[in-house]
Amino acid sequence: MESNMGVPRCTCCLFIATVACHIMVLVGNLSTAKMLNGLGRSASGWGSVASSITHALDNELTPAMHNVTQWLTTAVDVIDELEEGVDNLLTLTGSTIDSTMKSYAPTENETIFKAKAHVQVEQVAKAAIKKIEPLTDKVMDALRPPLAQVEQWLGSFSPKIQDTLEEFGTVADRAQKLVDQVMTKVNSAGGMEEEMLWDTYHIFDPYDDGIQLREFKQ
């Protein structure tokens, strides 16, 4: 009996197709690895920028904020003193006006009484204002340092820098979403496991009569 020693064309076609598919998968994996490598380098650069910003905020902005807080606390205390001085001024002026009005006699000349009352109220008001003026200067001295620091911040955090930080945050969010999508696709299964097993079995059982030794020899 002559044995069939012809060229297994189907097997050769399947072999060539399998090799071609593996090559395409390899090319796709290499492209994906190259893309992930580039994404990793970009993420490293973004991480360096974020680290620099964090370092600047921690070592420069935080101490400045602490100083501004202390300055504002001192300013609030001084403003309370000024408010108390103004209240005393108003109370003293009101008491002077009341006592002056009580001393008015119907028989007294009205013009002379007004002049006398004006002099008394003016003396009391000037004395009270002299006591308030140091508190006012103290308030201004307490407010100058924090206002100067705020002015410096307004110059440092210009609209251009703010726009750059907002753009950096937007790009970082997009990169994070892209990484999440890639990792989701990498971790997900293809969903064709049964088809692959079926096709692999029929590579070795082309005649649907079971896998036999003679078919391997052919």
pLDDT tens digits for range 106-162: 776 777 777 777 787 788 778 878 888 888 888 888 888 888 888 877 777 666 666
Average pLDDT across the chain, whole number: 76
pLDDT above 50 for 1: no
If one counts every other C-beta atom within 10 angstroms of the C-beta of residue 146, the result is 19
- For helices 159-187 and 9-56, angle between their N-to-C axes, nearest 10 degrees: 150
pLDDT of residue 195: 73
What is the pLDDT averaged over residues 198-211? 70
pLDDT above 60 for 57: yes
pTM (predicted TM-score): 0.43
The angle formed by the CA atoms of residues 201, 202 and 203, to the nearest 5 degrees, is: 90
Are residues 46 and 168 in contact, defined by beta-carbon separation less than 8 angstroms? yes
Q: Is 87 helix (H, G, I), strand (E, B) or coil?
A: helix
